[in-house]
Structure 1
Amino acid sequence: MAQVGFGGGCHWCTEGVFQALRGVTQVHQGFLQSAAPADTWAEGVIVTFEPSVIGLETLSEVHLRTHSATRARSVQNKYRSAIYIFDEIQRAEADEAIRGYAAETGKPVHTLVLPFAGFKASDERYQNYYRTDPNRPFCRRYIDPKLDFIREHFSENALER
């Protein structure tokens, strides 16, 4: 098993996205931290995955395509577009996914590759947000379209409904 962190928009959405992927065994939702200047806590998830089933490059590509990776944000904000690596070996795969996405879209990608430094879990009431009630208006409006995108464009990695 391996771990990597992802930060983008709301951690409820990010959690739901990665829970929908084959090879992901656990998703911890909360707040992630890196080294300065990205040492403020930002919403995100820690993903535990089986590399023989789904690779970091695919996970990174899913992440880039399911949040606003081309929108600039301050690294101090609550929302930080980032891939939090647990070791330097992961940096090359994350960087490659970002380069590929930038080349395909023709837009600058503002997703940072940062060393993981810390994690604080969200309140228990927010854990498994989508799984506990997918019919919430927030889930229907923001998470369902991301899951539909995964099923359409990453069908080999998507879990069945």
Structure 2
Amino acid sequence: MKENNIETAVFAGGCFWCTEAVFQRLEGVHKVISGYTGGTIKNPAYREITTGRTGHAEAIKIEYDPNLISYKELLEIFFATHDPTTLNSQGADRGTQYRSAIFYVDEQQQQIAEQIIATLKNDFVFDDPIVTEITKLGPFYNAEGYHQDYYNQNSSQGYCQFVINPKLNKLNTTFKNKLKKEIQN
């Protein structure tokens, strides 16, 4: 999806609080929206998603400038900041809503995602098989307001300290050159 040189990427990598916090910090990322996609009912609510019966994944929609960060780079960061080898879980979060997934918006994104996964497999980056699904993006539903910008508003909470901070530490170490200037300083 392209609009005024802004493109869209949609990823699911466990709890959307985690993935949102990671991608918000990247140079070229204009907006990250937590939401739900990949399911069977319209306008799902969080209480329905948590049952695992709707088929939706907790996902993020990233609006980014491809002149500053590429889709390939976003995928490299995605794979480095979550475990793509655990089926329907990330850490203590369990259920299909926490699956690893790439929801592509066009054939080019699909091809890039497939190439990245093939490279990761060929290079034996992970000990276990990658289970990340690659699916065409369907309807994306924004999560409730209290889920948006969650880490930035609740960084002192236990979940943020123990689950999100290690991801941000890895991001800050491994992808320092991709961080927004105000975060690098």
Same fold flag (TM > 0.5): yes
CA contact (8 A) 1:11 1:30 kept: yes
* Structure 1 residue 106 displacement after superposition: 4.7
Candidates 99, 106, 130, aligned match of 2:118: 99
Distance of aligned partners of 1:93 and 1:13 in 2 relative to their CA distance in 1, 3 Å threshold = same
Per-residue CA deviations over 1:18-42 (Å, capped at 9, x if unaligned) read 111111111010111269xxx8211
Q: Which residue of 2 aligns with 1:53?
A: 68
SS in 1 for 2:176: coil
Shift of residue 121 of structure 1?
Answer: 1.3
Q: Partner of 2:45 in structure 1?
A: none
Partner Cα separation in structure 2 for residue 48 and residue 13 of structure 1: 17
Q: CA deviation at 1:107?
A: 3.2
Give the aligned partner of residue 7 of structure 1.
12
Distance 2:77 2:39 in 1: 22
Distance 1:73 1:133, change over 3 A: closer
Q: Is 1:145 aligned to residue 162 of structure 2?
A: no
Q: Do the aligned residues in 2 keep the contact of 1:85 with 1:116 (CA within 8 Å)?
A: yes
Q: Is the contact made by 2:34 and 2:59 (CA closer than 8 Å) also made in structure 1? A: yes
Q: What is the correspondence of 1:47-86 to structure 2 with a 5 Å cutoff?
A: 47-73=62-88, 77-86=96-105
User: Map of 1:115-130 to 2, 5 A cutoff?
Assistant: 115-130=136-151
Distance 2:179 2:112 in 1: 21
**Quick one: distance in 1 between partners of 2:83 and 2:127?**
14
In structure 1, the partner of 2:31 is 26
Report Cα offsets for 1:85-108 as digits up to 9, x if no partner.
111111121112222222233531
Structure 1 regions of 5+ residues with no counterpart?
none
Q: Indicate conservation of the 8 Å contact 2:113/2:134, yes or no.
A: yes
Instruction: Look at both structures and tell me which one has the larger radius of gyration over its CA atoms.
Output: 2
Q: Distance in 2 between matches of 1:8 and 1:41?
A: 12
Contact preservation (8 Å) 1:23, 1:49: yes
Q: TM-score, normalised by structure 2?
A: 0.78
Report the Cα distance in structure 2 between the residues aligned to 1:127 and 1:16, rounded to whole angstroms. Answer: 10
Q: Is the 8 A contact 2:87 2:99 kept in 1?
A: no
Q: Deviations over 1:59-110 (max 9, x none)?
A: 1111112112011239x81122111111111112111222222223353111
